[in-house]
């Protein structure tokens, strides 16, 4: 065997070894992708008087696909009234303790359609999309508040075929729109699934968006369900009140776990 042939065979052997290693690494990465990481931390949620009424615990972190992280939570009602809304901030960190977003994400969990009863433990998941989300190794939770059935009444049945406020048929939701002169918006956060959020602080622009929603006519519940196409608006008013309006996809209004057809643009 001449020298040139020996060198060629050696190089081929090295290439096969490298290829095999890469395939093994790829297989391991594929197997690891989406595997939930057990992670436990908890915070106490208090009422206006400072009395603990609930505990929020994380159960797992799932890095999932690129730029997405899903955290599984358990909310336990330790109070005497049913809980109808949960508000908290979450920060995401990598294995070295670096804050992956540089700021907290506000999370609102609406429970009005099915309040969490005293003594009940409710499990749910929340996904966020941002650059580097797949590197999440830990989360930090900051409580904001939790509302009960007296502060925020349970959900009432929607009325399809009407403009937004009459469709929702929900007094706290309507009150936000009817009091914008006394309690104007100061910020709007807009986000689509798998895209970075856009923050708007121009009051006229925010009011125009709210007026557009107010004139939106909502039809019957839709059988169409869509993933990875969500559109989310979060409004913050001058007194700190927040309002969330979501669409599962363009033309599909999301309201308490159900989707309804938007009848006008």
Alpha-carbon gap, residue 244 to 234, rounded angstroms = 5
Q: Is the pLDDT of residue 3 over 60?
A: no
pLDDT at residue number 141: 93
Task: Supply the pTM of this predicted model.
Answer: 0.62
- pLDDT of 163 > 90? The answer is yes
Quick one: which of 254, 251, 230 has its CA closest to 110? 254
**What pLDDT, on the 0 to 100 scale, is given for residue 28?**
28
User: Is residue 26 very low, low, confident or very high in pLDDT (cuts 50, 70, 90)?
Assistant: very low
Cα–Cα distance measured from residue 174 to residue 190, given in angstroms and rounded to the nearest whole number: 21
Instruction: Tell me what pLDDT residue 37 has.
Output: 76
Residue pLDDT, tens place only, 44-75? 998 777 888 999 999 888 876 678 888 999 99
Dihedral in degrees, nearest 10, Cα atoms 175, 128, 116, 220: 60
pLDDT tens profile 118-131: 999 999 988 888 88
How is domain 37-148 classified at the CATH fold level? Answer: Immunoglobulin-like (2.60.40)
**3-state class of 136 per DSSP?**
coil
Query: Tens digits of per-residue pLDDT, 222-253?
Result: 988 776 778 999 899 999 888 889 998 899 99
Angle at 77 (CA atoms; ends 72, 82), nearest 5 degrees: 115
Q: Which residue has the higher pLDDT, 15 or 115?
A: 115
Please report the pLDDT score of residue 35 as a whole number. Answer: 64
Could you give the 3-state DSSP secondary structure of residue 12?
Answer: helix
CATH 2.60.40.1620 domain residues, the chain: 37-148
CA distance 262 to 170: 18
* Block residue for tokens 């929340």: 126
- pLDDT confidence tier of residue 8, bands split at 50, 70 and 90: very low
DSSP letter string over 153-219? Answer: PPP----TTEEHHHHHT-HHHHHHHHTTTTS-EEEEEEEETTS--EEE--HHHHHHHHHHHHT-EEE
Average pLDDT score over residue span 212-222: 95
Q: Where are the beta strands (DSSP E) in the chain?
A: 37-46, 52-62, 68-77, 83-93, 105-110, 121-129, 138-148, 162-163, 185-192, 198-200, 217-221, 231-237, 242-249, 252-255, 258-262
Task: For the chain, give the longest Cα–Cα distance.
Answer: 91
């Amino acid at each position: 065997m001449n020298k040139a042939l020996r060198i060629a065979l050696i190089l081929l052997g090295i290439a096969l070894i490298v290829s095999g290693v890469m395939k093994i690494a790829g297989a391991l990465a594929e197997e690891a992708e989406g595997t939930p990481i057990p992670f436990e931390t908890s915070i106490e949620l208090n009422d206006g008087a400072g009395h603990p009424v609930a505990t929020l615990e994380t159960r797992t972190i799932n890095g999932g696909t690129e730029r997405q992280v899903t955290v599984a939570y358990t909310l336990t009602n330790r109070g005497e009234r049913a809980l109808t809304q949960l508000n908290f901030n979450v920060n995401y960190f990598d294995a070295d303790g670096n804050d992956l977003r540089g700021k907290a994400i506000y999370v609102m969990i609406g429970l009005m359609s099915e309040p969490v009863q005293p003594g009940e433990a409710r499990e749910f998941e929340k996904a966020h999309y941002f650059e580097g989300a797949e590197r999440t190794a830990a989360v930090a939770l900051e409580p904001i508040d939790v509302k009960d059935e007296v502060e925020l009444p349970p959900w009432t049945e929607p009325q399809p075929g009407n403009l937004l406020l009459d469709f929702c048929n929900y007094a706290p939701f309507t009150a936000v729109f009817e009091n914008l002169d006394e309690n104007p918006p100061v910020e709007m956060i807009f986000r689509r699934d798998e895209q970075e959020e856009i923050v708007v602080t121009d009051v006229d622009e925010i009011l125009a968006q709210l007026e557009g929603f107010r004139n939106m006519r909502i039809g019957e519940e839709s059988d169409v369900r869509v993933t990875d196409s969500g559109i989310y608006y979060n409004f913050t008013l001058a007194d700190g009140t927040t309002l969330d309006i979501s669409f599962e996809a363009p033309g599909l209004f999301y309201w308490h776990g159900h989707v309804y057809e938007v009848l006008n643009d």
